[in-house]
Amino acid sequence: MVDEFDTVASWTVAAVRELGPDHALPAACRGSGSPAALDWLADAIGIGPGTHLLDSGAGVGGPAAYVADERGARPVLAEPMAGACWAAQQLFGSTVTVADGARLPFADATFDAAWSLGVLCTVEDKAAHLAELRRTVRPGGGVGLLVYERAVDSLPDQPEGNHFPDRAELEAAVAAAGLRVVETVPLTDLPSTPEDWQRAADAVDDAVERRHRDDPRWARAQDQQDTIGDLISRELVVGVLVHCRAAEAAA
Ligand SMILES: C[S@@+](CC[C@H](N)C(=O)[O-])C[C@H]1O[C@@H](n2cnc3c(N)ncnc32)[C@H](O)[C@@H]1O
């Protein structure tokens, strides 16, 4: 995971500088890729002008920068990989904290809303990660997730560091964290990534490859991405957007 989420993430900065700033957003959305997915979740959890948004597991910061640009949100990024945090600051001037999503350095009810995109499958204790989202969001605030769900009992190839939940495991973790699911939508029901966005992301990947293809860290990260890409294309793992809210306290 360090190769993919720390080292290669930090290499993105030089590639974007080479290709131009219009490549930053597409290159920095590593969990969702698609603006339609970000718009769906942003509408669901009520991201608008001034929304104080926590992005937990923010990676290189593309999704947070997207809602800052498009909606005037005020995102704060939490991400355990220092290289990704550095990249988000370089590319977008983001407000970033190096932190594990299961131990967030924020007081209760700090944020209006929170999201965590493509992160749950990389953490073992999903309920702990989700409980921190619930704790740090004000009562009634929305919590958005992009989850890569396992659609079969067992996977032919399990990428290192990934723990894809099936639907029952996801629902159990959400409930254990004191959240309830309001609505879900599969990524495949939404418009796919626009061609110009995909072209820009591919150009950044190509530039990173040109500079680093002889580095074993690039090869390991690429292997990881190929394995996940294969699972998704065979629909053994499916992307799902989840809109959650804090569960009502028992009477
Ligand atoms: C697939 S990337 C998604 C990045 C970003 N959310 C996006 O959509 O572009 C998964 C991210 O989860 C982060 N991650 C891994 N373990 C984590 C943890 N314990 N707490 C928070 N984030 C974590 C990784 O460092 C990585 O940046």
pLDDT in the model for residue 190: 96
Q: What is the DSSP string of the chain?
A: -HIIIIIHHHHHHHHHHHH-GGGHHHHH--S---HHHHHHHHHHHT--TT-EEEEET-TTSHHHHHHHHHH--EEEEEES-HHHHHHHHHHH---EEE--TTS-SS-TT-BSEEEEES-GGG-S-HHHHHHHHHHHBPTT-EEEEEEEEE-SSS-SS--TT-----HHHHHHHHHHTTEEEEEEEEGGGS----HHHHHHHHHHHHHHHHHHTTSHHHHHHHHHHHHHHHHHHTTSEEEEEEEEEEPPPP-
Direct distance between the N- and C-terminal alpha carbons of the chain, in angstroms, rounded to an integer: 43
One-letter amino acid at 216 equals P
160 band by pLDDT with thresholds 50, 70 and 90:
confident
- Cβ–ligand 1 contact at 90 (below 6 Å): no
Question: Residue 235: CB partners within 8 Å, gap ≥ 6?
Answer: 151
Q: How far is the CA of 182 from the centre of ligand 1 (A)?
A: 23
User: Could you give the domains of the chain?
Assistant: 2-246 (3.40.50.150)
- Cβ–ligand 1 contact at 64 (below 6 Å): no
Q: How far is the CA of 251 from the centre of ligand 1 (A)?
A: 36
pLDDT at 180 over 60: yes
pLDDT at 250 over 60: no
248 band by pLDDT with thresholds 50, 70 and 90:
low
**Which atom number of ligand 1 is nearest to the Cα of residue 84?**
27
CA distance 231 to 239: 11
Q: How far is the CA of 183 from the centre of ligand 1 (A)?
A: 23
pLDDT in the model for residue 86: 96
Q: How far is the CA of 250 from the centre of ligand 1 (A)?
A: 33
167 band by pLDDT with thresholds 50, 70 and 90:
very high
- Cβ–ligand 1 contact at 101 (below 6 Å): yes
Per-residue tokens: 12: 């993105």
Q: How far is the CA of 119 from the centre of ligand 1 (A)?
A: 5
Q: Tell me whether residue 117 is exposed, middle or buried, using C-beta atoms within 10 angstroms of its C-beta: 0 to 12, 13 to 18, 19 or more.
A: buried
* More confident call, 155 vs 114: 114
One-letter amino acid at 73 equals A
Residue 118: what are its φ and ψ, rounded to 5°?
Answer: 70, 25
CA distance 25 to 66: 7
pLDDT in the model for residue 217: 93
- Cβ–ligand 1 contact at 117 (below 6 Å): yes
Per-residue tokens: 206: 């190509």
242 band by pLDDT with thresholds 50, 70 and 90:
very high
> What strand order describes the sheet that includes 74-79?
96-98, 74-79, 52-56, 113-117, 142-150, 237-246, 179-186
pLDDT in the model for residue 231: 93
- Cβ–ligand 1 contact at 57 (below 6 Å): yes
Q: How far is the CA of 79 from the centre of ligand 1 (A)?
A: 6
